[in-house]
Amino acid sequence: MEGQTPGQLVRETRKRHGLSQKRLATRASTTQSAISRIERDQGSPSIETLRTLLHLMGEDLVLGIEPRDFGIDPTMIRERFRSTPDERVEYGRAFARFVIDNRGAAVGK
């Protein structure tokens, strides 16, 4: 369910449990139109509201964090730091020459 909006999460969970919007609204002491607005992502329910709606359908909301992958290879960084300052500067110059020499190559220019 990764990448879903809160509304998609509620709608898919509700349907999976065979509940109507009205039935879920009754359980949540709210209106069918409020559930409809949430499911259509018209507004942003609080995490507590989302947690409550899912709990009423027998599910738990699980939030977490993960380190972001920036596409940086730490082994390459460690390897580069083993070089002398002059070697690092030359590596940077060689990389810059490569970029200049190949600019536009990926788009066929």
Domain boundaries in the chain? 6-56, 74-107
In what helix (H) or strand (E) does residue 53 lie, and over which residues does it extend?
helix 47-56
- Look at the domain 6-56 and name its fold: 434 Repressor (Amino-terminal Domain) (1.10.260)
Cα end-to-end distance, the chain, whole Å:
41
**What global pTM score does this model have?**
0.62
Q: Going residue by residue through the chain (109 aa), what tens digit of pLDDT does each one get?
A: 568 999 999 999 999 999 999 999 999 999 999 999 999 999 889 999 999 999 999 999 999 998 888 888 888 888 888 999 999 999 999 999 999 999 877 665 5
Choose among 14, 12, 17: nearest CA to 25: 14
